[in-house]
Structure 1
Amino acid sequence: MKKKNKSLKIFRKLHKWPGIVIAVLSILFALSGIVMNHRPLFSKVDVSRRLLPSDYHYKNWNLAAVRGGLPIDSSQFLLYGNIGVWQKNGDEIRDFNQGFPKGIDQRKIYQIRAFQNKLYAATHFGLYERAQTKGNWQKVPIPLKEERLTDLFIKQDSLMVLSRHYLLKSGDGKQFEVVQLPKPANYKRETSLFTTLWQLHSGELFGLPGKLFVDLLGLVTILLSVTGLLHFFFPKIAKRRREKKKDNSKLTATRRLNLRWHNVVGYVFILFLLINTTAGMFLRPPLLIPIANSKVGLIPGTHLDNPNPWFDKLRRATWDAHLNRYLLSTSDGFFMADEKLEEQLIPMPVQPPVSVMGCNVLEPIGPAQYLVGSFNGLFIWDIRKQVVLDAFSQQPPQANSGRPISDHMVAGYFELNAQEHYWFDYSRGKLSFEGKASWPMPQEVLDKSPLSLWNTALEVHTGRIFEHLLGPFYILYVPLSGLCLMMVLVSGFLIWWKAYRKTKKQQPKS
């Protein structure tokens, strides 16, 4: 009996004190997760960067403010990226976002191309077009349910649009043919373990019902956190009321009801909460690192069980006129495809390193030569010679010693003319290969470029929002929070189970 009482005391301590710490963080996890699960719904809601830590304030076009640029004529060009689209003419930078829906997330631009005297923009929420100098952006209907686009390029007299799943082709910019790319050589029906855990954690693995169920788990987490905190404070409130000689009968009834809800909801959902917490812990370093390159089979009947071999894998693409081939950057690496897109796609034997977060730069710099950039750095790639060189050191790429990013976190690049080439580091912002001075960010750009609510939720959910307080140790926020939450859940269940069994034994047999 003494051993049982001692173990029960240990479980109560493990549940009580860590539970108080994790309750507030769990509410943040739950609320931010619900927002992240419904990006289109919250896409028009923004958060002023002035309310956020200084790490989220734009300085010198950093934080992927600019992904690329497009010259219009000899004196003016466009800048585009997370800030939308802006026109630079001499020293003047003007707003070029007229026509996009409300919300900074609605003008998250991945690529802009000129085609048949019009401009086309690939955004997170679809394809848009406008005249090069006048008018507003207008949405172009495309025959896809999922309108998230990743790239645009021109092939001879056709506009090519790349989504996360398909390639679209148009000769007039209005009517589009959807092309499903052929499977790659030696194709296996598998995906990354990271993607599987990501979709399990969000519920997307099981479609909309799965996402709604994970939303329910978020609400359950909030309920458990609030009722747990109330249970902790009830004795203190009761003591004060007794000191003031007030009736505690209603408070006692409320306390019992609160504890009942806490226990019942906890034991009903504990298994699902443990699974969801475990999956989430592996989506951030350091636990992400050992699974980053792991592959698993497609789970039958889930969202990932799709007949399209390139489902959610396409990132960047271009047409190489010298090789007469398509070049595609995917989550599985670089591939070449024939013009008719009938043969199996061939993986490139020599490839530049690309971050798990995807390829941000794929720009031709010569015949069959490309500049390839990601958070793993910037590289010169000669496909014919099968040579890859670091763009800064002119040496073959070096391993990052286990780090998932490079010292050069390349977020964008564009060539203004033969004498001006710029690249954009995620942290340092705009940099010039020729050493030219930077352009200051006008106040209008800063005022009109808040952070979307979805991105704010992402920063909260991953713990990056606390980096200014924790420094490099913020990377441990997710795994330590996950371990703490699992300890509180398991200890709470064991406390309930012991009390439940004890009550059951004490009940008289009929």
Structure 2
Amino acid sequence: MLRSTFRKHHKWFGIVMGFFLIVFCVSGILLNHRHAISGIDVSRGMLPSRYEIKQWNSGLLRGTCRMDDGRVAVYGSAGVFLTDTVASSFVSMNEGLPQGADMRQMRGMAGVSYGAGQKSSHEFFAVSQYGLYRTDGRHRWHHVALPTGEEERLTDVTSRGDTLVVLSRSYVYVATAPYRTFRRVEIPAPSGYDGKVSLFRTVWLLHSGELFGTVGVIIVDVISVILIIICVTGLAFWLTAKISVRQSLKRLKGRALKTLLSWHDIIGRKTIVLTLLICVTGWMLRPPMMIPLALSRVPAVPGTIQHSCNAWNDRLRMVRYDEAAGDWMVSTSEGFFSLGKDIQHPVPQRISDAPPVSVMGLNVLQREKEGGKWLCGSFSGMFVWDRQTSTSTDYFTHQPAPKSAGAPFGKTAVSGFTDDIIVGGRHDGIVVEYDKGTSLLQQPSWMNRLPMSLWNVALEAHSGRLFIGNIATYVFVLVMGMAAVWSLITGLKIRRKPNKNSKRK
């Protein structure tokens, strides 16, 4: 390809996608520092209308918990709300929780009972990614300390009798009344454990820099700033060249062009390997590349956060006790496992014939009120799982469940479920989808514009959904990533000095 053709490609690819690349870089820096911005919210009125919460979509209803006074607590992406069993009205139950929508994304709720007779007591707990909270008699939340590691994220909470179990992405935390002290339990490695990790997760951590800890995150932030400088200097050079000036200002314009080109050229050439790495790993994290990555396993890179003595590091998602089977079971990124009868001395064994779960993880895992089967809901759909017969069927079609989860988002992206609220005479429960929500449960209008966390806004921008909607999940990042890679390559081509032995210089 002629140098003039490379120049045209570099120019127009850079002009068209320069703005989007700057947005990707700024949003990427924000995503890398979630704790720092967790208390900052963005009004949904500033976002496209599709970001209004309607019919309990966007994870607003993840699950419910029946309180001791007969009322129902609804928890999800905006905290906890209190209603009755027919959802006649809703009031906020977020007093005592930290400020910021990101801090109030509740992963689960559980109630425990202890004591006997008139001295019996009930306690209710809720868990977000950042902390465990207990409610008092006035429905006010109080933080409960856990012996977690730095920035360890919590994923679930459940109970059996007077035993409270909190799950993080790496450990199990167990306590009994009065629930002041928790014991951290590390689950032993299962039989056949080979230490390999998901290639998708490895590329994800490499893209963000988290693979190498704080140092890696800072390096990726610096690369993002470099990409911003490259985009800004490139666009400024093009605009400056287009400006017509008087004869007396031509020398000043020439100096400005020379300075901009020098910065653009030197920074671009010196950092080409790092900028290409960020762009390539970014578009690999979206379809179609993410599917083969998610299905592939590789050894953990030594010296990284994935190289851990804990076989379950960053793999745990949800935990429940199965009364029929008489064991604790846990949902992980590696599938379902039985932990045995004693949660404090777990012996993990893989559960075969489990229903398919999206790579995004489970959102629903609870027993049916009648029949004792398990409801398993994720972005791959909802399935009814009978552990006794090792069979799974589709909740909606009643057909046998597929063997694999397929694409990250299936036809029915289930984000929540409740059977504590009875509307329209339905006693079999209400399924809530992430995008569509549910038409069976009326949502108060004042919830439409509940604030959205800055981190989630950055995620929407980084994935491209902020610009063109959900179709961006499948095409936008892929196209923009490949365009960025080609723009960098053509830039290197036109700035390389011609070979002295070449006939054409």
Q: Would you say same fold, with TM above 0.5?
A: yes
Range moving further from structure 2, 153-162 or 189-198:
153-162
Question: Which letter maps to 1:357?
Answer: M
Checking the alignment, whether the CA contact within 8 Å between 1:82 and 1:107 is kept in structure 2 is yes
User: Unpaired runs of 5+ in structure 2?
Assistant: 114-121, 501-505
Matched position secondary structure for 1:457: helix
Indicate conservation of the 8 Å contact 1:368/1:384, yes or no: no
Q: 1:376 to 1:62 in 2, by over 3 A?
A: same
* Letter aligned with residue 489 of structure 2: V
SS at match of 2:496: helix
Task: Compute the RMSD of aligned alpha carbons.
Answer: 2.1
The amino acid across from 2:415 in the alignment is: A
Deviation at 1:417, TM superposition (A): 6.5
Offset from partner CA, 1:170-191 (integer Å, 9 cap, x none): 1132211000001112111111
**Which of 369, 372, 377 is the equivalent residue of 1:373?**
377
Aligned-partner Cα distance in 2 for 1:143–1:263? 50
Aligned length: 482
Q: 1:67 matched to which residue of 2?
A: 62
Q: Structure 1 pair 144/403, CA: closer, same or farther in 2 (3 Å)?
A: closer
CA contact (8 A) 1:23 1:225 kept: yes
* 2:419 aligned counterpart, secondary structure: strand
Which residue identity lines up with residue 305 of structure 2 in the other structure?
Answer: H
Offset of residue 73 of structure 1 = 4.7
Q: Is the 8 A contact 1:110 1:124 kept in 2?
A: yes
Counterpart in the other structure of 1:46:
41
Report what 1:508 is aligned to.
none
Cα distance in 2 for residues equivalent to 1:314 and 1:428: 28
What residue is the counterpart of 1:361 in the other structure?
364
SS state at 1:26 partner:
helix
Distance 2:472 2:337 in 1: 38
Counterpart CA distance in 2 for 1:156 and 1:459 is 41
Q: Determine the C-alpha separation between the residues in 2 that align with 1:401 and 1:174.
A: 40
- Read off the aligned partner of 1:98 and give its amino acid letter: E
AA aligned opposite 1:38: H
Q: Structure 1 residue 425 and structure 2 residue 433: aligned?
A: yes
Question: Structure 1: how far apart are the matches of 2:130 and 2:405?
Answer: 37
Q: Confirm or deny: 8 A CA contact 1:151 1:315 kept in the other structure.
A: yes
1:204-233: CA deviations, max 9, x gaps? 000000001000011001000000011111
Deviation at 1:308, TM superposition (A): 0.6
Determine whether 1:497 maps to 2:496.
yes
The range that moved more, 347-356 or 251-260, is 251-260
2:455 maps to: 454
- The equivalent position to 2:412 in structure 1, one of 399, 408, 432, is 408
Match of 1:169 among 170, 174, 194: 174
- Percent identity over the alignment is 35
Q: Find the partner of 1:101 among 98, 117, 133.
A: 98
Instruction: Tell me the distance in 2 between the aligned counterparts of 1:311 and 1:402.
Output: 24
Q: Is the 8 A contact 2:355 2:403 kept in 1?
A: no
Question: 1:252-331 to 2 correspondence within 5 Å?
Answer: 252-331=254-333
Q: What SS does structure 2 have at the residue aligned with 1:65?
A: coil
Native 8 Å contact 2:358 2:407 kept in 1: no
Query: Would the aligned equivalents of 1:59 and 1:441 in 2 still touch at CA under 8 Å?
Result: no
Whole-Å separation in 1 of the counterparts to 2:405 and 2:398: 19
Partner AA of 2:168 in structure 1:
S
**1:400–1:406 CA contact under 8 A, matched in 2:** no
Counterparts of residues 7-26 of structure 1 (less than 5 Å): 7-26=2-21
CA distance in 1, matches of 2:405, 2:321: 34
Aligned to 2:239: 233
User: What secondary structure sits across from 1:360 in the alignment?
Assistant: strand
Aligned to 1:387: 391
Cα separation, 2, equivalents of 1:152 and 1:236: 61
- The one-letter code matched in structure 2 to 1:284 is R
How far the C-alpha of 1:406 sits from its partner, in A, is 2.4
Cα distance, 1:157 vs. partner? 1.9
1:143 partner amino acid = P
Question: Structure 2 vs 1, CA of residues 233 and 442 (structure 1 numbering), >3 Å: closer, same or farther?
Answer: closer
Shift of 1:156: 3.1
Query: 1:142 pairs with 146, 162, 170, which one?
Result: 146
Give the equivalent residue in structure 1 for 2:467. 466
Deviation at 1:266, TM superposition (A): 0.9
Q: Which amino acid aligns with 2:159?
A: I
1:57 and 2:56 correspond: no
Q: Does the 8 Å contact 1:169/1:176 carry over to 2? A: yes
Contact 1:323 1:368 in 2 (8 A): no
Q: Which residue of 1 aligns with 2:118?
A: none
Alpha-carbon distance in 2 for matches of 1:287, 1:380 = 30
Instruction: Write the distance in 1 (CA, Å) between the matches of 2:79 and 2:405.
Output: 35
| Secondary structure of residue in 1 paired with 2:245 | helix
